[in-house]
Amino acid sequence: MKLNDAILQKLLNCWPVARLATVSAAGLPHAVPIVFVVEGVHLYSPIDGKLKNGTPLKRIRNIEENPAVTLLLDDYHDDWQQLWWVRLDGEAELHVPDASVSRLLEKLLRTKYPQYEEGTLLPRDAHYLRITWRQGAAWAQSGYPAHIIGQAIDRLAIPA
């Protein structure tokens, strides 16, 4: 099943988290939760460029070995009739934006994630994972992903 583009774009614009899966040259999967914004046809996920134990983040090493990625958007709920997921398949690359794109992406990130204003600083001159994606599939336990995902989006707007 696939979501229509309007619902999918709405979801990507507001859903705060996705799980990114990448694969090493040896065929081993890796997964990590990411934040992201939509700009044009791409998704961008900031990385702060820091080295972990002296080497780049595993997700970066993996996409340099194999650019294929999957992004999973979903929402666990104790009411299983509310369960849904959307999978995006694509390719990722390390992207170092020029100054104007950098300002645009920072603005998009600060708009989507007020947390960036509250002290969790965006790294200056952040690098990004730039993801070229296509919809893989959408699923809902109820059989109606567009309806259930619409409800999940509406709940996002209401502080818990």
76, 98, 100, 154: which one contacts a copy of itself (CB under 8 A)? 76
Q: CA of 18: how far to CAs of 12, 81, 97, in Å?
A: 9, 21, 22
Are 19 and 31 in contact, with CB atoms under 8 Å apart? yes
Smallest distance from a copy of itself to CB 80, Å: 5
Residue 19 within binding range of a copy of itself, rule CB under 8 A = yes
Cα 55 to the center of its chain, rounded Å: 23
Question: How many residues in the chain?
Answer: 160
Q: Considering the complex, state which of residue 22 and residue 97 has its C-beta at the smaller distance from a copy of itself.
A: 22
The count of chain residues that interact with a copy of itself, using the rule CB under 8 A, is: 31
Distance in angstroms (rounded) separating the CA atoms of residues 26 and 49: 24
Residue 30 within binding range of a copy of itself, rule CB under 8 A = yes
Paired strand residues for 69: 90
29: closest CA among 75, 63, 1?
Answer: 63
Distance in angstroms (rounded) separating the CA atoms of residues 43 and 155: 23
Residue 78 within binding range of a copy of itself, rule CB under 8 A = yes
2, 14, 17, 48: which one contacts a copy of itself (CB under 8 A)? 17
In the window 119-158, what residues touch a copy of itself (CB under 8 A)? 120, 141
Distance in angstroms (rounded) separating the CA atoms of residues 61 and 38: 23
Residue 95 within binding range of a copy of itself, rule CB under 8 A = no
Q: Which of the stretches 2-10, 17-25, 38-46, 144-152 binds a copy of itself when contact is defined by CB under 8 A?
A: 17-25
Q: Which of the stretches 21-29, 95-103, 125-133, 147-155 binds a copy of itself when contact is defined by CB under 8 A?
A: 21-29
Question: CA Rg, the chain, in Å?
Answer: 16
Contacting residues toward a copy of itself, per CB under 8 A = 16-17, 19, 21-23, 27-33, 66, 68-72, 74, 76, 78, 80, 83, 85, 87, 89, 115, 120, 141, 160
